[in-house]
Structure 1
Amino acid sequence: MSFTYSPGNLPFQRLRDVRGALLQLHKALLHSERDRYERFHGRIRSKGEFFQLVVQDEWFSWLRPFSQFIVQIDEALSAKEPITLHQANELLDEARSLVSPDEAGTNREQRYYQAIQRDPNIALMHADVSRLLSKNK
């Protein structure tokens, strides 16, 4: 028997909850990285300039997997064909991997680790996402 998305199914609701928490975390990470970038390179003058930096500058490249993953969840949840339980669980597994900081890991893992260390709000958001992802694995 194959389950498909319905609002009452726990893995699907958890995926929606994780998506919301990741979106808030992503916004906080962008804000934190903007502050760091401005300390090194001077003030970013506009939202358009900031957007271009986020999309093109190497400084922000480690955040792109977060952006892409949130879009991936959105697409899965709004697709014409409902996602299966297996697909929902795969996305949750991918989210666990995405939010795995590592002081000695890949650039993304290291930068994420550093952001958690320097910003208590990011640390709290990381804990929230991790809590959501650890429920009933």
Structure 2
Amino acid sequence: MQNLEVLKAARNLMLRLHKVLVDHEKRIYESINGPINPGRFLGLLLESPDLAWLRRFSMLIVEIDEMFELDDGYTAEMIDAYIEKARGLVEMSDVDDDFRARYQAAIQQDIEAVALHEELKRTLK
């Protein structure tokens, strides 16, 4: 698979993984605080320090999407750089301790998250 296809596949897997992780965090939040409407939870996703770790995925997905939409196109170097960013995130090598702890907990507690995590790692090899 060429790097462009790798990045596109990784982006799609990250989007799916992000959704699973968000749902996982929402279940945890609701088990402690009771039901919450989607709008309120979106506000928490955007502002809560406890959910800031999820923003690493969403920001990388947005950056990749923006690269694909560039009027001038994108270069092989840009593609390679985003693949490396995604690898660092998934391998947890370019992250802080809070992200690592929360991500590891989520992939240990959610079977769908661990499956997507492993598929993403294979895609990025």
Q: Which category of TM-score, normalised to the shorter sequence, fits these structures?
A: over 0.9
The structural deviation recorded for 1:120 is 1.1
**Using the alignment, how far apart are the partners of 1:12 and 1:80 within structure 2?**
17
Question: Equivalent of 1:48, from 29, 36, 39?
Answer: 39
Question: Equivalent of 1:35, from 10, 27, 32?
Answer: 27
**Using the alignment, how far apart are the partners of 1:29 and 1:98 within structure 2?**
14
**Using the alignment, how far apart are the partners of 1:101 and 1:16 within structure 2?**
20
Deviations 1:40-75 (A, max 9, x none): 22211x211111010011221110111100000000
Instruction: Specify the code of the residue in structure 2 equivalent to 1:13.
Output: E
Q: Which runs of 5+ in 1 are unaligned?
A: 1-8
Normalised TM-score (structure 1): 0.85
The answer to whether the Cα contact below 8 Å between 1:101 and 1:113 also exists between their aligned partners in 2 is no
Instruction: Specify the code of the residue in structure 2 equivalent to 1:15.
Output: L
Pair 1:129-2:86 in alignment? no
**Using the alignment, how far apart are the partners of 1:122 and 1:41 within structure 2?**
23
Q: More helix per residue: 1 or 2?
A: 2
**Using the alignment, how far apart are the partners of 1:81 and 1:11 within structure 2?**
19
**Using the alignment, how far apart are the partners of 1:101 and 1:19 within structure 2?**
17
Normalised TM-score (structure 2): 0.93
* Other structure's SS at 1:81 match: coil
Instruction: Specify the code of the residue in structure 1 equivalent to 2:33.
Output: H
How many residue pairs get matched?
A: 123
Pair 1:18-2:13 in alignment? no
The structural deviation recorded for 1:21 is 0.4
Instruction: Specify the code of the residue in structure 2 equivalent to 1:17.
Output: A
* Other structure's SS at 1:82 match: coil
Aligned-residue sequence identity (percent) comes to: 32
**Using the alignment, how far apart are the partners of 2:38 and 2:108 within structure 1?**
27
Which residues in structure 2 correspond to 1:1-137 (within 5 Å)?
10-44=2-36, 46-101=37-92, 106-134=97-125
**Using the alignment, how far apart are the partners of 1:130 and 1:81 within structure 2?**
30
* Other structure's SS at 2:74 match: coil
**Structure index of larger Rg:** 1
